Amino acid sequence: MNGFYSTTITRLVTIALLFAACAPAARAADPDVLEGVPTIKAPPADEVKKQAFTWLETRQADEATRAAAEAIWQKGAGPLATAAPLDRLAATFALVEPQAKALVDVCSHPRGKGLLAPQEWLTAADAQPLLKNNMRLFFGRWLSQQRLYDESLEQLKDLQPADVVDPAALLFYQSVAFHRLLNKTDGLKSIDRLLSEVAEGPPRYVTVAGLMREDLKALEDDSLDHISRRMDDVQRRLGLGRAGEKVRKEEDGVVASLDKLIEQMEEEEKKKQEQQKSGSSGGKNQPQQPMGDSRVAGAQGAGDTHKKPIGRGTGWGELPAKQREEALQQVGKDFPSHYRDVIQAYFKKLATEDGGGER
């Protein structure tokens, strides 16, 4: 891990030095306005209640269970007075289904330490669709709120708006996971569906989805911003106790992207210097006519030249400690402050990490 730390920090120092004179490009808001006729609408709460009680009948619920369900769906009263239909539906399932009750209990608290219990029953072929589809949304929403975006997508990616009682929540949390995992193509597709196809989506979903859309549209692969976010994702995974093969591949990808960015910037700097040199050589000091090939030049002198300290390549791997610190200071000066914060926290975590899971 120390080798990765040393290699990556020197690359970041190099980028900081090459980018020191460049101002970050401003992100202009996309003027496009999504157009379309909303075709996705959540069923009314009374309709969801009807579906819940029909399900209870298939499970042959007794009178006590039905009375408890009535309390769950009572309007303006009880512990779920302000709860959304999805939460009321999950609570109804928990009255009869032990696995649903255990999952509702898990999702009622922040994630604890250790591995999550597997929930194979949610994808069982013989599971009733109303139960498994809505409990997958219920679980996937909680996983996203706990920053477990890969696990959230495992629950949500195959669901369609017609499968659940809260289609806006499904598209929103799919979009969140795609956005945080930097999946630009699927993220924009999910966001556009939420913004253009869902009728009467919650304002908070619409507002955040619009911001995510602009952010993803402006994100360019292998840019410094893209690399910084990938580093942040590795840091997130390490914070969750994951340090396995997937994380190591992401680390390797970060280093490869840094190398690619350094190479591009060095090439651009070389071309710039060559253009400047070419421009200066074509100035007023140039002779009016070139000397003929058969003439002997009349220049005098011993032919000695001043030796210059060149030939050591870019030297980015040999920067003294003082220059490296100056370069890191430049990162904080010329780029958004979160770049330096992410870099410092990320490598501090890498330096102390000694193992974990396989995600």
Instruction: Decide: residue 255, CB within 10 A, 0-12 exposed, 13-18 middle, 19+ buried.
Output: middle
pLDDT (0 to 100) of residue 349 = 56
Report the pLDDT value the prediction gives residue 26, as an integer from 0 to 100. 34
**Which pLDDT value is given to residue 57?**
95
What pTM does this model have? 0.65
In this prediction, residue 317 carries a pLDDT of 43
Q: Which residues contact 162 (CB under 8 A, 6 or more apart)?
A: 40
Contact 268, 237 (CB under 8 A): no
Per the CB < 8 A criterion, the answer to whether 18 and 265 are in contact is: yes
Based on the number of CB atoms within 10 Å of its own CB, is 241 exposed (0-12), middle (13-18) or buried (19 or more)?
middle
Q: How far is CA 229 from CA 152, 186, 202, 223, in A?
A: 19, 17, 28, 10
Place of tokens 């209990």: 105
Paired tokens of 30:
């996309």
Per-residue pLDDT at 191: 96
- Within 25-165, residue ranges assigned H as helices are 45-58, 63-73, 85-96, 98-106, 129-145, 149-156
Regions in the chain scoring below 70 on pLDDT: 1-36, 77-78, 243, 280-359
pLDDT at 308: 44
CA quadruple 225, 228, 234, 239: dihedral positive or negative?
A: negative
Q: Are 235 and 265 in contact (CB under 8 A)?
A: no
